[in-house]
Amino acid sequence: MDAKQCIESGKAVLGIEFGSTRIKAVLVNELNVPIAQGSYEWENQLENGLWTYSKEVIWFGLQQSYSDMRADVKKRYGVEIENLAAIGISAMMHGYMPFNKEGHLLAPFRTWRNTNTGPAAAELSKLFNYNIPLRWSISHLYQAILNGEAHVESIGYLTTLAGYIHWKLTGEKVLGIGDASGMLPIDPTTGNYRADMVEKFEELIAPKKYSWKLRDILPKVLGAGELAGRLTETGAKRLDVSGHLKAGIPLCPPEGDAGTGMVATNAVRPRTGNVSAGTSSFSMIVLEKELSKPNEMIDIVTTPDGNLVAMVHCNNCTSELNAWVKLFREYAGLLGVSDDDIYGKLYTHALEGGVDCGGLVAFNYVSGEPVTGFAEGRPLFVRGANDNFSLANFFRAQLYGSIAVLKIGNDVLFREENVKVDRITGHGGLFKTPVVGQRFLAAALNSPISVMETAGEGGAWGIALLASYLVSNVGLSLPDYLDKFVFAGNTGSEIAPTPEDVAGFEAYLANYKAAFPIEEAAIRYKK
């Protein structure tokens, strides 16, 4: 059926993802092709030393993105959305949202970006003999305990942003296994939280004599394809303030943006991987077996259907790039030049720079960067008097700097753990300009990088695919469903690394690491 008929008959599927800078809603048809979309721009706030988004803006942003998508449907097809086949909610992974038994938020939402949890993460990593990242929910919880925060005694439920929104739409306290694996490690044999780690944590905090047990405050873990609840009357009104959307629509398990990125790039089988590069960046490599030992640069999470994944998560990626583009756009405005393609021109011009960026080095650390050991960050550009200071080299250094930390983490996987991967797919803002980001990432990882035409659809499309999978009734595994009904053999366009580019990036990285003391000094003296 055509798009209008699909919407009128309630067969369309909706995916909504809360990214770092944009909340995006994507409506897909029965063939999983996007037919409408909407969005809302937002930014995190630094309050009392912690990165957060207010509860009010979370709901306002959700409603605005849905309203924008609804307006797109009306403009394109002249119809109203009354019913849907399924809905999926996704959001930034990890973080900390504690509620009391009455459902009231006890502390402002603490996002993945916060790096104040170092003491807690270090102690838990040692206790579990497992790398526990700073941004994981269990790190935030234990840090709040170490800090003696009064709200901890009253916790009745702990969840992520995706889990929170899903709960308020459906009444169900559940979480997709991929997002849950960023709260506490998952046992792949049970598909649930690691029981031994739950016990160790309970013993650790027993002297506090809290009224709650960890196992009782965590969301129930669900895998891809499991029903995670239905839209309630209250939930429908929260989502669609116009009142047209009906209750009773099934929802798939809420997932994190890492999981939806894997789905959107068809990277859920072992030996496949993807790189998401936007405000933050992360690589996800689906493992054939567990790693030989814990490593603080590598997070072990899962795919939405429970396969183990080695994740390298970098807090910073394109924010500093965007700031420089904004500066160049401002300069163009002074010249009376309007240039809507300034990103494309600057990115493409970077291809003319030296493979080692002429000796220039850029740090994109708007916030702390755990992979390289920085609890705080200062954006920084460094050059020597004899370096080749040109616009092409400058912008190439900024682009290299946006993926340098990602390379450092992945070098551990490929060189120390000998992890094998057959295909890595890129998606996110870094890849919107053809070739450039793809070529530089191929050089950084010394691996072919594919980009699909659907890469720009991102995680909102990925969670829509998981919602479609929920109601597909085809009896296939998630990887087989994606292969047969979504991608049908499409692996995208591939760029392989050249020896010159690889050697150039290695030279850049040597300069980058040598400049760590400069970044440390900038943090120490620039407050």
Tell me the pLDDT tens digit for each residue of 399-408: 999 999 999 9
The answer to whether 399 touches 440, Cβ cutoff 8 Å, is: yes
Q: Report if residue 64 sits inside a domain.
A: no
Determine the average pLDDT of the residues in 22-46. Answer: 95
- Lowest pLDDT segment from 144-148, 232-236, 409-413, 491-495: 491-495
What does the DSSP 8-state code read for residue 451? E
Q: Are 391 and 317 part of one and the same domain? A: yes
What radius of gyration, in Å, describes the C-alpha atoms of the chain? 23
Q: Are 304 and 198 part of one and the same domain? A: no
pLDDT of 429 > 90? The answer is no
Closest CA to 309 of 299, 294, 324: 299
Q: Report if residue 356 sits inside a domain.
A: yes
Identify the domain containing residue 410 by its residue range. 267-451+497-527
Q: Are 190 and 282 part of one and the same domain? A: no
Determine the average pLDDT of the residues in 279-286. Answer: 91
Distance CA 248, CA 266 (A): 29
Determine the average pLDDT of the residues in 31-49. Answer: 94
Q: Are 373 and 507 part of one and the same domain? A: yes
Judged by phi (left if over 0) then psi (alpha if -120 to 50, else beta), residue 450 lies in beta
The answer to whether 88 touches 169, Cβ cutoff 8 Å, is: no
Q: Give the dihedral sign, CA 237/240/244/250.
A: negative
Total domains in the fold of the chain: 2
Determine the average pLDDT of the residues in 78-103. Answer: 96
- Lowest pLDDT segment from 28-37, 137-146, 257-266: 257-266
The answer to whether 266 touches 186, Cβ cutoff 8 Å, is: no
Question: Which pLDDT value is given to residue 455?
Answer: 54
Question: Which pLDDT value is given to residue 465?
Answer: 97
Q: Which of 198, 217, 236 is the last residue of a domain?
A: 217
Question: Which pLDDT value is given to residue 115?
Answer: 85
Count other Cβ atoms within 10 Å, centred on residue 78.
8
Dump pLDDT digits (tens) for 437-450: 999 999 999 999 99
The answer to whether 427 touches 276, Cβ cutoff 8 Å, is: yes
Determine the average pLDDT of the residues in 97-104. Answer: 97
Question: Which pLDDT value is given to residue 457?
Answer: 63
Q: Are 519 and 438 part of one and the same domain? A: yes
pLDDT of 107 > 80? The answer is yes
pLDDT of 279 > 90? The answer is no
Q: Are 412 and 271 part of one and the same domain? A: yes
Q: Are 190 and 299 part of one and the same domain? A: no
| Structural tokens at position 499 | 């020896």
Average pLDDT over all residues of the chain: 95
| CATH number, domain with residue 348 | 3.30.420.40
Give ∠ CA 474-476-482 in degrees, rounded to 5. 95
Q: Report if residue 110 sits inside a domain.
A: yes
Q: Are 211 and 274 part of one and the same domain? A: no
Q: Which of 405-414, 419-428, 484-493 has the highest mean pLDDT?
A: 405-414
Q: Are 366 and 503 part of one and the same domain? A: yes
Question: Which pLDDT value is given to residue 93?
Answer: 86
Determine the average pLDDT of the residues in 516-524. Answer: 96
Distance CA 449, CA 467 (A): 27
Determine the average pLDDT of the residues in 276-304. Answer: 92
Percent of the chain with pLDDT over 90: 88
pLDDT of 38 > 80? The answer is yes
Q: Report if residue 165 sits inside a domain.
A: no
Q: Report if residue 177 sits inside a domain.
A: no
| pLDDT band at residue 29 under the 50/70/90 scheme | very high
Q: Report if residue 404 sits inside a domain.
A: yes
Distance of CA 127 to the CA centre of its chain: 27
Determine the average pLDDT of the residues in 265-293. Answer: 92
For the question of whether the overall pTM of this predicted structure is more than 0.95, the answer is no
- Strand segments (E) across 287-323: 299-302, 308-314
Q: How far is CA 236 from CA 161, 245, 465, in A?
A: 18, 6, 21
Q: Are 276 and 417 part of one and the same domain? A: yes
- Strand segments (E) across 160-225: 174-176, 186-187, 192-193, 220-222
Distance CA 88, CA 255 (A): 8
Percent of the chain with pLDDT over 70: 99
Entry field: residues in the chain: 527
Question: Which pLDDT value is given to residue 490?
Answer: 77
Q: What is the SS3 assignment for 217?
A: helix
Q: Are 191 and 278 part of one and the same domain? A: no
Dump pLDDT digits (tens) for 130-144: 999 999 999 999 999
Q: Are 359 and 428 part of one and the same domain? A: yes
Q: Report if residue 33 sits inside a domain.
A: no
Determine the average pLDDT of the residues in 139-153. Answer: 98
Question: Which pLDDT value is given to residue 454?
Answer: 63
Q: Report if residue 120 sits inside a domain.
A: yes
Question: Which pLDDT value is given to residue 453?
Answer: 74
Closest CA to 450 of 460, 458, 442, 459: 442
